[in-house]
Amino acid sequence: MTTPKHRPLGNSALIVPDICLGTMTFGEQTNEADAHAQLDFALAQGINFIDTAEMYAVPPRPETCGASETIVGRWLKHVPRDRVIIATKVAGPSRNLDWIRNGPPALDRTNIRAAIEGSLRRLQTDYIDLYQLHWPERNQPMFGQWQFDPDKERTCTPISEQLVALAELVREGKVRQIGVSNEHPWGIMEFRRIAAACGLPTIVSTQNAYNLLNRTFETGLAEVCHREQVGLLAYSPLAFGHLTGKYLADPATPGRLTQWPAFGQRYTKPNVAAAVAAYVDLAHRHGLTPTQLALGFVRSRWFVASTIIGASSLRQLQETLPATLTPLPESLLAEIDTIHLRYTNPAP
């Protein structure tokens, strides 16, 4: 098995592998012993980039809020801190997660500071390498929504105030770099513009969904992130398991989609099944598994700083990691584009 490549994250001095271990299953599908085994395995393979969030495990509920960070923290105290790059996120408002900081009502200074203190405590560390805003506070389409609706405008914390709050954490040494997640071009530009104008720390990454069924990043964000030197941390590379092909033959096959169907609404749109079938057929014709095709594709993109992979078990991670490292020839990438033009972003 080949090893991950390493590169700077955005325009920062933070060097990350091009594969990141996601932990949203930790504390729900994955028990602590298996989670620690996954972390050990990943680190042994050169994957020292770990992504978590204060709201994880997923699906979010009061009983498991913070569980993923807690599990990572118990592992982290037995590992040299400087060997590991820890990324976590502060939850934004308006997602009906009322058990997180009694709201959370805003991405203001009070909430950001409360969130970081909780994350540091659960992770048993005194700093976070990459601290991300989990989703924007402002009105914008996300998590499967695909149209902007100006009638849903609402009062929110100005981006300038969010940056000032994050700058305090950087100045205090609690955060090394800052990033965003589920962002759109306007947000990336505003964060970068305001930071430059006010002399504040700037974002170095955005964590967005990107896979064969959702290549919307390429339309506007790819240019913006290239010119602004913001790295993409690509999540959901297997499109909630759809791109493994396992739901084609049996829609009721065990998996996250059947266990929590509400989280699969993004994939109930027209052409999803047809697109998946086309990619599965393409993989088989080239002697690949559908998983190899899907993960190898994401890792091959020039704008992807790191592909976030997650697993419900060590065994699954041991199968997924080699698939992610599968190189895809240019001729195969061209065939992928042909299918993409036929079924363009069926699950944005």
Q: Which residue's entry shows tokens 């104008």?
A: 197
56 noted as active-site residue? yes
Mean pLDDT of 142-162: 91
Per-residue pLDDT band for 105 (boundaries 50, 70, 90) equals confident
Q: Is 250 exposed, middle or buried (0-12, 13-18, 19+ CB in 10 A)?
A: exposed
In this structure, the strands spanning 6-8 and 231-235 are: unpaired
- At 249-280, the pLDDT tens digits run 888 888 877 888 777 778 888 999 999 999 99
What's the Cα-to-Cα distance from 120 to each of 56, 58, 116, 177, rounded to whole Å? 15, 20, 6, 15
- In terms of CATH, what superfamily is 6-242+292-331? NADP-dependent oxidoreductase domain (3.20.20.100)
Domain ranges of the chain: 6-242+292-331
Mean pLDDT of 152-176: 97
- At 174-205, the pLDDT tens digits run 999 999 999 999 999 999 999 999 999 999 99
Three-state DSSP state, 304? strand
Hey, what's the torsion of the CAs at 58, 61, 62, 66, to 10 degrees?
A: 10
**Res 1 pLDDT > 70:** no
pLDDT at 146: 83
- At 58-103, the pLDDT tens digits run 999 999 999 999 999 999 999 999 999 999 999 999 778 989 998 8
Three-state DSSP state, 203? strand
pLDDT at 142: 83
pLDDT at 188: 98
Phi, psi angle pair for 282, to nearest 5°? -60, -45
Mean pLDDT of 40-44: 97
Beta carbons of 239 and 294 less than 8 angstroms apart: yes
**Res 22 pLDDT > 90:** yes
**Res 151 pLDDT > 80:** yes
Mean pLDDT of 314-340: 96
Q: Whole-model pTM?
A: 0.97
